Structure 1
Amino acid sequence: MGANEKYEAAMHGFIPATDEVRALYVAGTPAHRVSVHSGYAEFDRWLETVRAEAKAEALTEMAKELENQLAGITRETGQTRSGRDIIRRIRNRANQYKENQ
């Protein structure tokens, strides 16, 4: 069962909209701690961090999968070099997401 299926099973099919969750976050934040505007900004920063982590994780998994496919190849060809270049690019993009958190 993948992450989406686990989430849907836990939520019994209910998936709240991001704006609903955002409003609930701000409503549940103590007034002395944050204004409504800064509460939205805080939530948005948190959400972008979670999204960046998910993107980095997905890209890292893809790079590993591609590496595993290339691991058994002993002869370097143009295709294997291209494959290794693609893996390098995927890892670089994953690292960019990790650094921007």
Structure 2
Amino acid sequence: MNDNTTHVEKPLTDEGGEVRELTAADMAAFRPIGDVLPELAKIIPTRGKQKTPTKERITIRLSADVVEYFRESGEGWQTRLDEVLQAYIAEHRKAA
């Protein structure tokens, strides 16, 4: 892009409200919530930096019915799935 070209930013959402894939330029343009909505920032709880991560981020493929079952259980479904796997390990360590 040269100086004679005007950059037109795409809206973040389409007519149906779906958010498009964000670009590096989108991310760079974001500002802290306290700068944009200071009153909202006052009531949103903040979480400090984790001293020692307790969980590891991975990519895993699961059966669609497993994912659907846990997602339907509502917010926190990933934690519940982790708890089920932890229980499995505990039970099978006893048997070994």
TM-score, length of structure 2 as denominator length: 0.29
* Larger fraction in helix: 1
Larger radius of gyration: 2
User: Which gives a bigger RCO, structure 1 or 2 (Cα 8 Å, sep 6+)?
Assistant: 1
